[in-house]
Structure 1
Amino acid sequence: MSEYINENKLNRHNPTIAMILSILFAGLGQLYNRRFLKGTVFFIVEAAFLIAFLDFLNIGLWGLFTLGEIPKIDHSIFLLIQGLVSVILIGFALALYIYNIKDARKDAIDRQLGKKKPSIIEAARSAWDTGFPYIFVTPGLILLLFIVVLPLTFMISLAFTDYNLYNSPPRNLLNWIGFDNFVSLVSIPIWKNTFFTVMSWTIVWTVVATTLQIGLGLFLALLVNDPRIKFKRLIRTFLILPWAVPAFVTILIFSAMFNDRFGAINRDILSHFGVMIPWLSDPFWAKVALIMIQTWLGFPFVFALFTGVLTSISKDWYEAADVDGGTRWQKFRFITLPHVLFATAPLLIMQYAGNFNNFNIIYLFNEGGPAVRGQNAGGTDILISWVFDLTFETNNYNMAAAISIIIGLIVAGFAIFQFRRTRSFKEEGNI
């Protein structure tokens, strides 16, 4: 008789049946398991979600695939945004739906094993203990999705449409065109010439300007850290002063100083040698000026960073090197440099990534100029400033979005590759 009762209980709380019921509608599996409060909550949540968002999701998904059907009535941009929001809402709903199914199955298995049904207070306490991290992470995750992920996916979506000045809603409907924008970057002459020219200059700008500011900062830090140097605090204060001045103020001052006609560099310095350099009107000299300005702006931070690291290196290492007959170069190569790079490598990598997208100096100095014949970008435009011009000057939103994706892939790929090779991000070990 007891075996019959136990078998009847097993059949009554079959995990498969609980899962099927939860798949049909959230909460039914919990009600089947006699978890009435939890089942009611799941049931109400799904019912409320369907009532509140069913029409919104229907229009959103339709608009995401079609981008509208009637010009001047359907707005492709609004439909695209509504579609992306719908995808996010569906993602939340699916996560809760899957949790409901797994919970129903787990409850049914516990009932089969004869585990005691927890009281409401015990269930609430257990949910609080296990879900504490998720409770506090969820609001931030929601904000992240709508503040970061949604605009990012919207930009990525525009790269696969024909959204530009001559085809903009609501007058016209947008169309999905696949990878045509990316193909145009490397096939249509004006786009091809501009893209590869700007890309080359962006790489040169990033490598040269960042390496110079790091090299200058390291050199000055080593110099000031030398025991023979006096008045270290005063020297460090003067070297950090450029960092204290807002960057945009410094850039605007330098822009005036490098002016071809009335700038102080040409008029008060180079004029004594009979030289007048076209800093703003010639692309080559404009690039040289930008690299020098960025070196001036960037070295104080690197200097401060390296100074702090150098003071933490034990003097015993250098004394041991002196005993072994090590030269200054050997001590720098095998003691100072490895220690400095180990401690600062992630921040130095971010310096390169930051200069790759350093829009401020390019725009404030001469707005990416001067103009170059046969290209739709200025002579000193880097990729990010070119994207700005395409967006706000010529309204080529689709091409700007395509280039933005390329920028993101380059920066992310470089950062991931370098971080994985950096010992600072690996298990701590001996230098």
Structure 2
Amino acid sequence: MEDKKKYAWLSYIIMGSAQIMKGEYIKGIFLLLVEVLTIIFGIPYFAHGLWGIVTLGETKFHYNEKGIAVFDHSIFLMLQGIISILLILIIIGIYIYNVKDAYKAKEEKKITLRDKIDRNFHYIFMTPGILALLFFILLPIIFTVLIAFTDYSSPYHLPPRNLVNWVGFRNFKELFGLKIWNETLSGVFVWTVTWAILATVTSFFVGLMWALIVNSAGVKIKKLWRTIFIIPYAVPGLISMLIMRLLFSGPGPINDFLEHLGLQRIGWLTDPHIAKITLVLINMWLGAPYFMALMTSILTNIPRDLYESSDIDGATAFQKLRHITLPMVLYSTMPLLISSFAYNFNNFMLIYAVTDGGPVNPNYRYAGHTDILISWIYKMTLNQQQYHMASVVTILIFLMIAPIVAYTFTRSKSFREEDLI
């Protein structure tokens, strides 16, 4: 017991010392190496990183007496600060493990390296994924959130020429308080929700309708029809979107055909309302084949006894669709339907490729009539360099979509029940 306490007290000061004294040399050397590297390289890096994330730099861009540009890059300092915090948390976690492990009694039975690998395989296997999660997913999220509390924008606060400053909740106040920002946010948000619902529902039910038609008893050469319907999904989506943009353009083939029939040309992409309808139709064309293929496999797995029993009870085709087909299909596809809604909520590619957010809306700031939130963010960042406001809208997207998806998914039967009763 005294040796055990001695090992533990040593581990508080020198990481890995207790493990080395217990004969666990590989573990002890690793922990000791972590402490040495932290002292030599980590402390200076962490000190500069924490200073940088607090101040975001103090030296403005200028040329020194040698003609060399000298400046603090606020964004690089912020990133270094975030990385420093994440590394500090990792080192704290290793330190806690080092102390707890020191209290464990030495195993009398000799364990080979292979046995240790087998025993800790799940930790070894998960560690790269956790590190990737921290630095490739969590780090960008933290960076985006922090940018929302700065004045990072063009032209006056764009590094390296200028420094970025912390501004607290000023950006949130402007987004909701200033009319030009508030009107844009409310208009784009309403259209984004409307678009996500229409795009999901139309693709789902058209796909279901195609699957029901193809799988009906009277239809011959089913494989041929399935192949024809799946072609839009098989062709790369961007190519289909660009072709649709050409077809529906003002001087495009569709308007030429209408003019040939003696009808007026239609502003498929220039009239605000018609442009939105056009986007829904194009998305339906692209998305319905996916749901059709999915529904086909689900429909073939519905027990035929249910339909035979309903025929005996005198059920109509609509009643069978409502009480048998739809519940079974929705039970199997609800998680995918929710995922499709979340995808369409952020379906940047279709908006960008077909309308580029147009037509122009003079009442909106950096957005057009068909822009959704994600395309509005794209324009604010790439075109206008308003990174601070784009980050605020990004946070709002997460706060809006995450609870909806989480609530809807947890309320679905497929989440609450393991088996269909």
TM-score by length of 2: 0.92
Matched, 1:279 2:305: no
Count residues with an aligned counterpart. Answer: 410
Indicate the residue corresponding to 1:212 in structure 2.
202
2:323 to 334, 337, 341: 334
Report the aligned-residue RMSD: 2.0
In 2, distance between residues paired with 1:309 and 1:30? 57
1:132 to 107, 121, 131: 121
1:352 to 334, 341, 355: 341
CA distance change for structure 1 residues 290 and 129 in 2, over 3 Å: closer, same or farther?
A: same
Indicate the residue corresponding to 1:396 in structure 2.
386
Matched, 1:158 2:147: yes
Indicate the residue corresponding to 2:216 in structure 1.
226
Identity %: 42
1:187 to 154, 160, 177: 177
2:2 to 6, 11, 28: 11
1:405 to 395, 400, 417: 395
Within a 5 Å distance, the mapping from 1:310-329 to structure 2 comes to 310-329=299-318
1:269 to 258, 272, 290: 258
1:369-390 CA-partner distances (Å, limit 9, x unpaired): 1111121211110001000000
Tell me the secondary structure at the aligned position of residue 13 of structure 1.
helix
CA distance change for structure 1 residues 125 and 257 in 2, over 3 Å: closer, same or farther?
A: closer
In 2, distance between residues paired with 1:192 and 1:59? 38
In 1, distance between residues paired with 2:154 and 2:224? 56
In 2, distance between residues paired with 1:342 and 1:270? 47
Tell me the secondary structure at the aligned position of residue 160 of structure 1.
coil
1:114-140 CA-partner distances (Å, limit 9, x unpaired): xx5344xx1645532321111122122
CA distance change for structure 1 residues 37 and 148 in 2, over 3 Å: closer, same or farther?
A: closer
Matched, 1:26 2:24: no
Matched, 1:78 2:72: no
In 2, distance between residues paired with 1:168 and 1:247? 36
Matched, 1:95 2:93: yes
Which is worse superposed, 47-56 or 74-83?
Answer: 47-56
Which is worse superposed, 275-284 or 234-243?
Answer: 275-284
Tell me the secondary structure at the aligned position of residue 68 of structure 1.
coil
Tell me the secondary structure at the aligned position of residue 261 of structure 2.
helix
2:420 to 418, 425, 430: 430
Within a 5 Å distance, the mapping from 1:102-113 to structure 2 comes to 102-107=100-105
Indicate the residue corresponding to 2:161 in structure 1.
171
Paired residues of 1:29 and 1:104 also in contact (CA < 8 A): yes
1:46-91 CA-partner distances (Å, limit 9, x unpaired): 1123212221111011111111122122110110111111112112
Within a 5 Å distance, the mapping from 1:38-53 to structure 2 comes to 38-53=27-42
Paired residues of 2:258 and 2:265 also in contact (CA < 8 A): no
* Paired AA for residue 331 in structure 1: K
Which is worse superposed, 26-35 or 50-59?
Answer: 26-35
Structure of greater Rg: 1
1:63 to 34, 43, 52: 52
* Paired AA for residue 126 in structure 2: V
2:246 to 250, 256, 272: 256
Paired residues of 1:13 and 1:32 also in contact (CA < 8 A): no
Indicate the residue corresponding to 2:406 in structure 1.
416
CA distance change for structure 1 residues 258 and 66 in 2, over 3 Å: closer, same or farther?
A: same
1:203 to 185, 193, 196: 193
CA distance change for structure 1 residues 234 and 125 in 2, over 3 Å: closer, same or farther?
A: closer
TM-score by length of 1: 0.90
Which blocks of at least 5 consecutive residues in structure 2 are unaligned? 62-70
In 1, distance between residues paired with 2:200 and 2:336? 12
In 2, distance between residues paired with 1:317 and 1:254? 42
Which is worse superposed, 328-337 or 271-280?
Answer: 271-280
Indicate the residue corresponding to 2:64 in structure 1.
none
CA distance change for structure 1 residues 19 and 336 in 2, over 3 Å: closer, same or farther?
A: same
1:182 shift after superposition: 1.8
CA distance change for structure 1 residues 28 and 221 in 2, over 3 Å: closer, same or farther?
A: same
Indicate the residue corresponding to 1:5 in structure 2.
none
